[in-house]
Structures are given as C-alpha cells and as structure tokens.
Chains A and B, each alone.
Chain A
Amino acid sequence: MATMETNAPILDDGKRRPQSARGSRGGTPHGTLDYHRRNGRWSGYRHLLWARILELKREPEVVFWVFIFPLLLAAGLGIAFRNKPADITWVAVINSAGAQKTLAMLQSSFDQRSSDQRSSNKTLPDKGPPNKSSTIRATVLDREVALKAFHFGKFDLVIESNADGSYTYYYDPARPESVLSRAEIDAALQSAAGRKDAVATSSQSSSEPGSRYIDFLIPGLLGMNLMNSGMWGVGFALVEMRQRKLLKRFVATPMRRSDFLLALTSSRLILMVIEVGLLLGFGVLVFHMRVQGSILSVVLLGALGAVSFGGVGLLTACRAQKIESVSGLINLVMMPMWIFSGVFFSYQRFPAMAQPFIKMLPLTALNDALRATIIEGASLGSQSGRLLVLAVWGGVSFVLALRWFRWT
C-alpha cells in the first residue's frame, strides 16, 4: 500500500495532542478555542467505511445480487438435482407381434425384483425400489413415431422385438441415460427370460449429507459469490467513482489514499462474513448440509478469497475511465473461472492437459479449499498450495494495481 501513499507524512510540528491519535471524533475540545474539534488518525477511514456500508445498504440491487441471488441459485439447483433421483427410464416398444409380450416380460421382471426387495407390489413402480433406483415407463408405438420421438430425446431407448424372438435396441451412446437404460432393459429382459444371477449382490445407496450435489454446489456458489462481489464491489465501484470524479474530489482533500483503499477492503470483508453466513446457514437449514471443518477456517478462507478477488478487481479497475469498459473487463476476467473453476460441476472432466492451468486459477483454488474444508473437514494447514495461489493472485494484482492506479 505504501506505493500509493504519494502524500508525504504530515507536518505535525508537535501540534498533535497526545490522545487525539485515535478515535476522538465528535467534538472533544482540547482546551484551545482555535478550532472546534480535532479528528483522529482513523477518522477518515471510519467515515469512508461507514459511507460505503450505507451506500451498499441503500442500493437494493446490491442486496439482491450479493445476498438473495446466490440463495435463489442454491435453492433452485439444490432442488433440481435433489438426491440423484429415481430416474425414470423412458422406453418405446415398436409395435409388432412381440410387443405385448415384451411389455409383459419387463413387467414380470420388475414385479419379481420388487417383491425380492420387499417393496410395494406396484407394476413398473413409480418410485424405484429402495436399492435399485430405476423405474421404467414403456410405451408401444409405431416404428416411425417411436424412432422420431427417440431422436428428439423423448425416449431413452427403443426396443424392437424381432420375428425370430431376438431383440434389437436402438440407443444413443452419447447420452448417458440411453446407455444406462440399455443395460437396465437388457438385464430385465434377460432375467424375465430365465437368466439367473450368477452371484448374489447387494447395493448400498449413498445420498448422505456430504456427498450430494448440493453439498458440492454450495461451496462452489460461495466461491463464485466471493469472486463476483469482489470484482464488482471493488472494480465496478471504483470506476464508477472515478467516472463521477468522486475519486478526484477525494484526493483533493487531505484524505489518505491508503485509508480509502483500506475502507473499501474492509467493507468487502464485512460483506463476506454476511455472504458466507447466509449461504452456509441456508445450506444447513434447508438442505441439512454439514460443515465438517471449523467455521473459523471457512471464514478465514472467505476473507482470503474476498481480499484476493478485491485485488484482482482493483487491478481490473486501475485505469478504466468508463463503467462500460470496466464491465467488459470484469466479465472477461471472470469468464474463464465461470467455466473452468468447478462452480457447478467438477473440473476433473476437462482434459488432463488443462488441469494444471485450471488449478492455477484463483477461483479453482478457492472452491477446492472451501470444498475440502466444508465437506471433508480439511485443515487450512493441509491446503497451503491453494492458499498460496490465492495469496499470489491477490498480492500481485494489488501491487500492480497500486502502481498503475489512476485517481483522476
């Protein structure tokens, strides 16, 4: 921060009174009648911070985007991907001589499986049996219609019973649910035709808190939110103030530039605590999520993330004169992280070659660290690499930003 402090130290010439160095705001007369009050060292900082918080509080959009929107996202996605549900397999049976027999075979197979596993005696049950999670909805259709509907994704699989008693499956190897249902239907038909399982198996379902999608999602949303509010809350806010000539007006006063930046950072940290509290609280209350690591670790991670993205936001905003140009820049900076940093799904699916690059992104580091702490209960000490990535991004951005920063 020292690089930005172009102001020379105050000419104090012994005028400062002993107790005025700290927090003596509000008209403490110091004996002389020359002046009404004497502001302490941190008076400017405190007023800047308070002004920033008032402004945020009075800006309904900020409240919505920072606090409400992530909750809506979490709620929406959490409900949509609720415990990897009783998948319904949609199957078309091509209308032919064997069609009814095929239906009957599927039904009997499922009846048997259901009764084996002490489930309800519904045929083609709506709810999957506890351990085997699939339900089959089969419809008999003409060949043309069936294949067309299959191509539009209405069916996962088309079954044709051939004249010689064999079956042909039409499936799409690129669609996971199509591949799954082919295996499922084949097993059903084979067992209905008398195939016996060679080995007795049993399965244990795993939708414990901690391994569900929502548990994966909430730390990701938290990371994303810290990035968003860091970039917009620092970057956009600064350029707006520059465009309004407010920055110039501030530096025309004896305000310390470092106080200004410190106040901006502090306001981000205060917001961060609220963001983290809201999202985690929401996850815990609504989705019965469990926070395995210590809350302190999560807050410290949040703080590091908020400061780091604050630094990146500062760098993004250090020269831009117009809010239009900084908006574009902010989106440009965030775009790769939206895609690669594993907010909504795991980045492991990207090619191995891309992995080192992905892991160097600050949001990846933050998301990974948040997930490790929240889901696995990892300590901060065990994640020094990720913390380092965050610290380097934040630190380097901050230093460069201060060097290039334009106040006017």
Chain B
Amino acid sequence: MASPVQCTNLRKTYDGKVEAVRGLSLQIEAGQCFGLLGPNGAGKTTTIEILEGLLTPTSGEVRILGHGWDDNPRQLREWIGISLQETRLSEKLNVRETIELFASFYSEPRPAAEVLEDLELTEKADAWVGKLSGGQKQRLAVATALVGNPRILFLDEPTTGLDPQSRRQLWDIIRAFQQKGGTALLTTHYMDEAERLCDRLAIVDHGVIIAEGTPSDLIDRLGGHHVVEFKVSKNGGNDESDNNLGRWRSLPSVESVRREDSTVCLSVREPHLTIPALLDALTRDGRQLEHLSTRQASLEDVFVQLTGRHLRED
C-alpha cells in the first residue's frame, strides 16, 4: 500500500526570489503522527500547503495515498482533513452550523453531533463562532477537518497561542484520531509538543530537513541525555574564551559543548561523572561558580546544536 504522504525534492520559490523550500523529501507511514519542527520562517507552512495541494511546488513530486494532486484532487480532498495555520471561520454562524457546512462538502461525512462530542464542543453547539475562546475556535477548526472522516489529518501549528490546557486537549484529540488508524502531519515550533505527540519528526530549517527521526533518536544524537549548564565569575583573570571550551569538552562523559552568552552548556551522558570533575577544575583555577544546573536534554538542544540558534528567537 502506498504511504499516506510522500514527497521528493520539493522546492518552492516565491516570485523567483525567496526560496522557501529548498529540496525537501519526506515519507510518512500509515498511522504515524509526523511532526515538522522548526522556527518561524523555516518553510514548514509552505511545505504542508504543498502537501495539501493548496500550493504548487516550483519543482518536486508529491504523492498522497499514492496519487498526485493532478490526478484527482476532489477524491484526494475527500480523504484528507486540513486545519490551516490561521482561518477565521464565519463569526455569525454557530458551531453546529459551521460543522454541518463543512460536512456538506464531503460525500460521506461523520455526523456533526458525533464530531462535536469528540471535540468537547457539544455544550457550545449553539454558540456563535465569534463568541468562542481561542482554544474552542482551534478545536472547531480541527472539527471541520475531522468531520469529513479523513484518512490523513494535516494540522498547521494547531496549538500556537493556546493555553496549556487547550493544548493538551488538542493533543488528546490528535492521539484519538491516530488510534483509529489515522495518519497525522503537523507543524509546530513547540519542541515539547513535538516530543510528546509525534512518532517521528523532521527538523526543518531554511527550507531543508536538517535532521529526521523519532524524538528519542534525535536526542540520542546529541550523545548525552543530560545537559549541564554553568556560569563562572570573571574575576579569575583569564578571559573565558571559546578556546576554553575545549577544556570542558575533555571532561569525563561530556559529548559536546556550546556557549550561550556567559553560560556553558555541556551535553553529558552521566552527570555524576562530569560534575565532580568540573568542580575540581574550577577549584584549581581558583574561580567561582555563579550558577550550576542539570536537566534532561530536549529537542531544543538538538536544534541549537544543529543550527547554533534557538527555535524561538523572539
């Protein structure tokens, strides 16, 4: 059976100048929840909209359930459900009317009441869309995607701007869809979302995939699952320069080192080996620790290691 979503060497150039996507290939297996993780402007939305058949790629090939968008767009649209990054649905229609409107476009939709129930919108069925909270609006947007009973769900930043509770609610909805055998593709710039929700991830930057794998695969590539961050006072005399990083790299169990401002971050396999050695080294130098902490490594660390930048640089 053809994989639900597959694309090879996608490129999209806007106005002959801006290269939003520069040769991106991916393949999603049935039943997977696949995440495109990357900062704003990385090309995630362009990519997902090409896959959704809303944008034409400058070059490259897209196959959805084995079909190209030229073959039979109407049939493909029956099979997929979409939530765009930003859609403001008609404010003067109520929730049920909105769902039924979208249901009417599909030849075999799910009953509106069932979708409302699944998305916990039953209580709001008669409320005007304009009166909904951000989380409710976003659930409604996902409801319009689910009412067609899709095989594949495309969600572009489904939880951006939502409060933690609403985000968790949406995650549950996506998991429930997946449990019924659905395939999901979502974009996000929240690493925790990617980590918890996605079976597989592609980290996108500047229009290309810079790393792909399961969340734990990606973190494994850092070499260590822990991060030790510390900061030393400058009164020791010798300036903390980049060539000093080599010293920290040579501490036991350290896999990689980077600096952020005056903080040094070590990716570490076993902190109980690294920390005593670090403290010894500092004592020998006669320098004082201003700060020391350890935490679990995250996708953020992966991204920073790969690009030298943070995911969200506001």
Contact = CB atoms under 8 A, between A and B. Distances in A.
Interface string A16-33: 000000000101000000
Contact of A251 (B54, B103, B109): B54
B52 A252 contact: yes
B100 interface: yes
Interface stretch (B5-13, B85-93, B169-177): B85-93
A54 interface: yes
Contacts of A253: 77, 82, 102, 105-106, 148
A397 to B, nearest CB: 26
A264 B108 CA distance: 24
A340 to B, nearest CB: 36
B74 A10 contact: yes
B75 A10 contact: yes
A370 to B, nearest CB: 32
A38 B108 contact: yes
Interface residues of A, number: 37
Contacts of B77: 252-254
Nearest to B77: A254
A250 B82 CA distance: 10
B54 A44 contact: no
A18 B270 CA distance: 69
Interface stretch (A114-122, A240-248, A388-396): A240-248
Given A7-B74, A38-B108, A39-B106, A408 B54 contact: yes
A46 interface: yes
A58 B77 CA distance: 31
Contact of A246 (B74, B82, B89, B103): B89
B110 interface: yes
Contact of B111 (A36, A245, A254, A408): A36
A154 to B, nearest CB: 52
A246 B90 contact: yes
Interface in A5-61: 6-11, 25, 27, 34-39, 43-44, 46-48, 51, 54-55, 58-59
Q: How large is the interface on B (under 10, 10 to 19, 20 to 34, 35 or more residues)?
A: 35 or more
Contacts of A151: none
A241 to B, nearest CB: 8
Nearest to A259: B105
A246 B52 CA distance: 15
Contacts of B110: 36
B92 A59 contact: yes
Contacts of A9: 74
B133 interface: no
Contact of B92 (A34, A38, A54, A251): A54
A39 B101 CA distance: 12
A254 B88 contact: no
A8 B75 CA distance: 9
Q: Is the interface of B mostly helix, strand, loop or mixed?
A: loop
Q: Is the interface of A mostly helix, strand, loop or mixed?
A: loop
A51 B103 CA distance: 13
Contacts of A7: 73-74
B50 to A, nearest CB: 12
A255 B88 contact: no
Given A244-B88, A249-B82, A8 B108 contact: no
Contacts of B159: none
Contacts of B128: 58
B84 interface: yes
Interface in B97-129: 97, 100-111, 114, 128
Contacts of A39: 103-109
A408 B53 CA distance: 12
Interface string A105-147: 0000000000000000000000000000000000000000000
Nearest to B98: A51
Interface string B60-102: 0000000000011111011000101011111011000100111
A51 B109 contact: no
Contacts of A248: 54, 84, 87
A101 to B, nearest CB: 73
A59 B74 CA distance: 33
A253 B82 CA distance: 8
B105 A44 contact: yes
A256 B93 CA distance: 21
Contacts of A246: 87-90
Given A51-B101, A249-B87, A8 B72 contact: yes
Contact of A245 (B84, B92, B102, B109): B84
B104 A25 contact: yes
Given A37-B109, A244-B87, 12 more contacts: A6-B73, A8-B72, A10-B75, A38-B108, A47-B100, A48-B101, A54-B92, A55-B93, A244-B88, A249-B144, A252-B84, A254-B78
Interface of A: 6-11, 25, 27, 34-39, 43-44, 46-48, 51, 54-55, 58-59, 244-246, 248-256, 408
7 contacts: A25-B104, A36-B111, A38-B107, A48-B104, A246-B89, A249-B87, A252-B77
4 tightest A-B CB contacts, nearest first: A47-B104, A35-B108, A244-B88, A254-B77
